[in-house]
Structure 1
Amino acid sequence: MIKRILYTFLSACLLATGFAGCDDDAMAPLPESVPLIMEVSGKSFVMGDKLVLTIKVNDEDNPEAVSNEDFDIYLTAKDGTEDVSKVVFKDFPSMVTFPKGVSELKIELPIVESGLKPQEKVYVNVLAFVRGYKVSDSSQSIVVSDHNYTVVSLKNNADNEINEGDKFTIQAQVSVPVTDDVDVNISIPDAQKVFYETLPPAKLTIKAGEQLAEAVVKTKHNPDPSQHETLVLDFTTLSGVHPLDKAKIEILMKDLEVGRGDRLLDERWVYDRPAVPFASSGRQGAVADQYGEIIPMKEMNSHPNADLAAAGWKFYNAWEFHSVGNSGDMWNDGNAFKNKVPLFLAARNTAVAQNHAAVFNEQFSNITEEGILKMIQMKVKSTATGGGKGERDYGTAAFYACGTGSPWKSNSQLILEGCRMEVRARLRGEKNGFNMGIWLMSDDSGSSPTYSEVDILENPVGPITGNKAFQTFHYGLSANENKGSKSAQNSINMNDWNVYWMEWRSGEEIALGINGVETVCLKKSECSEEDWTFTNAKNQKGLKFILTMGAPNKWALGGGTETGGVWAPDAGWDSGFASFNNYERDRDNDAIPRLEIDWVRTYINKASVADYEQGQTKNGTKFY
């Protein structure tokens, strides 16, 4: 009864307040929140540095806006789920107050001066939260280590592999400009000096105010068959501010005269020097500056392989993934991850491609400085777009091109009758449960009555399928669930580079192969008239080119549960790499599943390009 009387009194008072207030004075309006943004003074820090967080009022409609009240900002610093605020910072505040009437607040966070182990890196996510306010960029990732190390490496050569006679560049690099000259001393074993035409210098010096020093070295080519050699470079420095990240580099120098191995296993059955890039006339200088040796190439040049040239294959087009050019030309790196994403491939963000992982190419793909398209998949929560809306536990990369009948850059090649397509690729990392694929398919708009699929490579890795290279044709009427297929399986080392290829020789024959071996061939004579779909007439825009990573894969894993028609893998399928879930820290970890493409090259067996294209629409930009 007392509560009822109290509520009645309060209601009457509130109602009266709407007109005149409970007393003679009107109530002041509540302060309005303003939009905020958080900025950091850098991304990489060492012991003794200072991180500065800046919280700003960020009102685009009112640039002069200031805060209307004092409010509290709550701060956290975590590595994954672990609180590292006391490990990394000397005095990290859990809460600070943004004062009324100002437009920004700077928060100084000194980094500890000791305590981190040698070469230890702590990946810190600094998060700001303000109750009732929207804070843009409220989560910022930084890296804290014990020193700014001098990183010695081979430029554009993460694998440390060369051929005899090659040039290579030794570089010493730091992440911040040095305040004093930093000398890096280089020595090599006396017995190895005979392998060099130009010896490494005795010293590399990073000048004060700079971050990089380089030296070009050239090896000798011994024309007599010998053996591969391991070249050793030893490094020392007296700098205590910028110590070396490593004291030695070992370089595998391959003998060019070593005989080719098994035709299935050795890519040199297709190219004597498969790593040497093609370059069109407009890019030859830039590509040569970046990579050294190049192969100038233009339309209708004969295939560099004598046997393939004799078979009538002439160059048509290529995607070489050169890490040269301007952003907006071959690639675009205008994203938060600073990755170079190819503009001649589009996002394959269909519902099927995103069953278990969201396609986000800007984060999970990159054209590396070595000139390789690197696609990864990580246990990083990501939002699926396109045909697969919603959040996924994993993020991945997936691409498609061609077969669109449009002038877009992603339709810069045509895959038609009379095409030979070659893809130089390697598959690395913990791949259990994955089915990485390089494949072609007919128009997937649903308008075609027939279906064509060419799996240039599938690698379903798991207890059911093992770890083999599958190459398969699927064909028949679109409405027929039991389409025809023909397949080959081969055991090869997919961690190494291989050339996977398709020859659509005519409207009556199509074949697949690896390196120097044809693995499977399908002919029209093996199919019924309606099931034979490998013709231009039944693929009027040509075939689409697709790259996917596809995990987890029911075909390979076998186990799992199905609920409401949706299959889910057994727990633990991703145990080999699930713990590597910090993008900044783990993206380059060797355990991360990755599909790497060096180049895609196409040849035709027609008398001319016009005879091959038959008036089809495509983009004319050369991406090689």
Structure 2
Amino acid sequence: MKKILRMAYLWTLLLIVVGLSGCSDDEPIAPLAEPVPLKMSLNSKDLVMGEVMEITFDVTGTEEGKKVMNEDLNIRLSAKTNRGAVDQLLFDDFPATVTLSKGETSKTVHVPVKQTGINREHNVELSAFARGYRMAGALQVVTISDFHYSKVSLKNNADKTVKEGQSFILVASVNSKLLDELTITIVPKEGEEERYVNLPSELVIPAGKSSVESAPIIMKKDENTKEDEELTLNLSTIPVATRYPLNEKQLIIKKIDVHKSMDTEVRDERWLYEDADLLFVSEKNEAALKSWGQTNYTVMKEGDPHPNNGNVLPKGKWKFFRAYEFHKISGCVMSKESNDGEYTSEEHPVGLADQNTGAVETQGAVDNVKFSWVTDEGYLRMISLKDKAKSSNTGNTFEFGTSAFYSCKFQRGNPNSPKWPAANVRIYPGMRIETRARIRGAHNSGMLPGIWLQGNEQVGGNAQWNGWPDFGEIDVMENNTKHPTMSYRTSVEQTFHLGDITPNTGKSKISPTVAVTDIAGTIGEFHIYWVEWVDNQTVRMGVNGKQTIELTQAEAERQGARWPFTDQVNSEGLYYILTMMFLHKAKPDYPSMEMSYLTARRMLKNNPDALIPRMEVDWVRFYIDDTYSDHGMPWRDDVILY
């Protein structure tokens, strides 16, 4: 820690010496004392008119931080939304600068929220900067409102969609502890009363609490209905004139009809799974899943038949092996610190590692702690923003931040690589991999969401095979968000990349591809993108219930390419990749990307339609057939992620 701080200090001095400074001309520049770590904390992140925000700056608990300040320190403060600065619009006497004087260990400033004139809610980015000092909590998002609003929502379900036969839970909440009891009445729209079992007529939040949950409510199955429909719950408060008014007086729930007609095999995931929302869970994690509040699940064991067994898929062929289900439970999520040390996530997925290669980090840094997380719904959400981010690979700071992961990567000759938590599956012939994913907010953004496989021979492998694309690449899904053809832009492509007979040319000899335009306009909904490494001669891909492309060794060699998809060439198998890359390696020009990662997180929690480029992965499932072998190679079979 001390070494890092001294490096930061020396770097700051170097900038001053060479004349680079972000300070105004009239600000004197004096030599800096050795920096000590600071922390900014707030008394509340939800305030209303007339309340006071308390901002505290103090030293933290490291050895350096036990010292008092050894110089006067000016801390610059700003408050803004995506529409600009709001320090004067929402606050009285907002301080542009706070001085922590020499000898002080902490200072608290009081910033009143305006007494009048504020309408609705404003998500405000409060940021602090002190030249030459690192500061924990330097960026925080605060909600400023005219009232403490109450609301009714679906627990762990921002999309507000419920399938027939499934249960859901209503949550009534206020963004502060109540001074007195609040009752919210719930009345279904006329004619929709019979859609529910156990729907409460009211939810009561006791004084001193901020939320209450209903018992599970069941959405009835109705064989007479054949289409999805929107259902309305009308809400009101008792008393009507309350200090906690409702932010919305209606809750709209989309009921998904399980009896509706099947779409085509490529457009409808029900060709593969009767209920693709059904969670897979291991016996080990079942109790934790129940505590999380999930009821729509099935316990899966290695060797269980694929749920589609004998329908679209051949009877008896594919058997369950492993899964990444992204359950928000201990063992599937972990705590991890961002690359710059500014943020710690408690929602980081276990068993995946940072794919922070040069090919991904062309215009932005991969910082999965800031730009990805496991959501309350149990999805892995991966976003890209115009928000400064630091690369843990190169140490460089980029204008953009993004997300990219890998798993199943094994480095030939490295005895430690099979011990990594990300080395939790061996991908060899005889395996089928399914990824349920959707892409939202990315249209025309200049991003390239993708699901890939590449050969592990590139990592410490044979020089004849370890250059791209000689080791082989399978693009299970790519979405070109700026493609000139609209049907391509709103659908996906699936591609193979193979190298030339002459190794290390750095160019694809052949790139057989298919544009799956049959799903154009629907990529914002979940589809299942799959690949089968059938054997050493054949690889095929598809979407939902349809095979879309197949490539064989004979066809590849007929076109002059070398065939890498064997367990002899890639003796360590293939590895799995999820990325939000930069299309054509260019900077995106997309205004809605200009926000902080914290603002994006809060926005998406309440608005699943926000225009923030992202890929959301519900699950990844691995199946094997009787020909599969792990070749006796070591891997982390103790890492259970479902």
State the TM-score bracket (shorter-chain normalisation). 0.7 to 0.9
* Corresponding position of 2:367: 360
Are the aligned partners of 2:269 and 2:527 in contact in 1 as well (CA < 8 Å)? Answer: yes
SS at 1:236 equivalent = strand
2: CA distance between counterparts of 1:127 and 1:271? 49
SS at 1:333 equivalent = strand
- Give percent identity, aligned residues only: 30
2: CA distance between counterparts of 1:591 and 1:318? 30
Are the aligned partners of 1:34 and 1:58 in contact in 2 as well (CA < 8 Å)? Answer: no
2: CA distance between counterparts of 1:36 and 1:401? 35
1: CA distance between counterparts of 2:255 and 2:361? 41
The answer to whether structure 1 residue 479 and structure 2 residue 485 are counterparts is no
Are the aligned partners of 2:279 and 2:297 in contact in 1 as well (CA < 8 Å)? Answer: yes
- Quick one: which of 288, 296, 300 aligns to 2:303? 300
Are the aligned partners of 2:56 and 2:106 in contact in 1 as well (CA < 8 Å)? Answer: yes
2: CA distance between counterparts of 1:227 and 1:101? 69
* Cα offsets for 1:134-153 (capped at 9, x unmatched): 46348342412222221311
- Quick one: which of 601, 620, 627 aligns to 1:600? 620
Deviation at 1:496?
1.1
2: CA distance between counterparts of 1:375 and 1:32? 40
Are the aligned partners of 2:318 and 2:623 in contact in 1 as well (CA < 8 Å)? Answer: yes
- Quick one: which of 518, 528, 538 aligns to 1:499? 528
Pair 54,506 (structure 1): closer, same or farther in 2 beyond 3 Å: same
* Corresponding position of 1:195: 195
The equivalences for 1:328-367 within 5 A come to 329-335=331-337, 336=343, 338=345, 340-367=347-374
* Corresponding position of 2:254: 252
The answer to whether structure 1 residue 265 and structure 2 residue 238 are counterparts is no
* Corresponding position of 2:126: 125
* Corresponding position of 1:231: 231
* Corresponding position of 1:105: 107
2: CA distance between counterparts of 1:78 and 1:430? 28
Deviation at 1:162?
1.3
Aligned-residue CA RMSD (Å): 2.6
Deviation at 1:67?
4.9
Are the aligned partners of 1:128 and 1:138 in contact in 2 as well (CA < 8 Å)? Answer: no
The equivalences for 1:109-508 within 5 A come to 109-117=111-119, 119-127=120-128, 129=130, 134=133, 136-137=135-136, 139-143=138-142, 144-198=144-198, 200-215=199-214, 216-224=216-224, 226-237=226-237, 238=240, 240-289=242-291, 290-305=293-308, 306-307=310-311, 308=313, 310=315, 312-324=317-329, 326=330, 329-335=331-337, 336=343, 338=345, 340-386=347-393, 388-404=394-410, 406-432=418-444, 433-443=446-456, 444-445=458-459, 447-448=461-462, 449-450=464-465, 451-464=471-484, 466-467=488-489, 468-476=491-499, 478-480=503-505, 481-491=507-517, 492=519, 493-508=522-537
SS at 1:411 equivalent = coil
Are the aligned partners of 2:78 and 2:96 in contact in 1 as well (CA < 8 Å)? Answer: no
Deviation at 1:455?
0.8
2: CA distance between counterparts of 1:34 and 1:544? 43
Deviates more, 1:306-315 or 1:492-501: 306-315
1: CA distance between counterparts of 2:324 and 2:99? 54
The answer to whether structure 1 residue 623 and structure 2 residue 641 are counterparts is yes
* Cα offsets for 1:569-598 (capped at 9, x unmatched): 6xxx523524x3233334435111000100
Pair 518,93 (structure 1): closer, same or farther in 2 beyond 3 Å: closer
2: CA distance between counterparts of 1:341 and 1:113? 40
SS at 2:598 equivalent = helix
Deviation at 1:68?
5.9
Amino acid at match of 1:438: I
* Corresponding position of 1:547: 578
2: CA distance between counterparts of 1:65 and 1:390? 30
Deviation at 1:255?
2.1
* Cα offsets for 1:224-277 (capped at 9, x unmatched): 563333221111113632221211111121222222111110010000000111
Are the aligned partners of 2:333 and 2:348 in contact in 1 as well (CA < 8 Å)? Answer: yes
Amino acid at match of 2:406: Y
1: CA distance between counterparts of 2:433 and 2:62? 51
Pair 36,269 (structure 1): closer, same or farther in 2 beyond 3 Å: closer
* Cα offsets for 1:440-484 (capped at 9, x unmatched): 000232523231111111111224454131111122354243433
Deviation at 1:313?
0.8
- Quick one: which of 31, 34, 46 aligns to 2:48? 46
1: CA distance between counterparts of 2:70 and 2:484? 64
SS at 1:623 equivalent = coil
Q: TM-score, normalised by structure 1?
A: 0.84
* Corresponding position of 1:558: none
Pair 615,212 (structure 1): closer, same or farther in 2 beyond 3 Å: same
2: CA distance between counterparts of 1:60 and 1:110? 32
* Cα offsets for 1:400-439 (capped at 9, x unmatched): 0003151222111121100011110101103322221101
* Corresponding position of 1:11: none
Deviation at 1:32?
6.7
Amino acid at match of 2:206: K
* Cα offsets for 1:374-415 (capped at 9, x unmatched): 0000110111221x4422111000000003151222111121
2: CA distance between counterparts of 1:263 and 1:381? 42
Pair 108,279 (structure 1): closer, same or farther in 2 beyond 3 Å: same
- Quick one: which of 597, 615, 633 aligns to 1:583? 597
2: CA distance between counterparts of 1:475 and 1:241? 65
Are the aligned partners of 2:77 and 2:96 in contact in 1 as well (CA < 8 Å)? Answer: yes
Deviates more, 1:252-261 or 1:99-108: 99-108
Deviation at 1:354?
0.3
Are the aligned partners of 1:76 and 1:83 in contact in 2 as well (CA < 8 Å)? Answer: no
Q: TM-score, normalised by structure 2?
A: 0.82
* Cα offsets for 1:474-515 (capped at 9, x unmatched): 223542434333211111121111111111111111100011
Pair 78,475 (structure 1): closer, same or farther in 2 beyond 3 Å: same
Deviation at 1:39?
2.7
Larger radius of gyration: 1
Pair 46,509 (structure 1): closer, same or farther in 2 beyond 3 Å: same
2: CA distance between counterparts of 1:263 and 1:497? 14
Are the aligned partners of 1:84 and 1:124 in contact in 2 as well (CA < 8 Å)? Answer: no
Amino acid at match of 1:423: T
Pair 393,507 (structure 1): closer, same or farther in 2 beyond 3 Å: same
Are the aligned partners of 1:36 and 1:55 in contact in 2 as well (CA < 8 Å)? Answer: no
2: CA distance between counterparts of 1:407 and 1:37? 36
Deviation at 1:166?
1.5
Are the aligned partners of 1:430 and 1:577 in contact in 2 as well (CA < 8 Å)? Answer: no
- Where in structure 1 are there 5+ consecutive unaligned residues? 1-29, 555-566
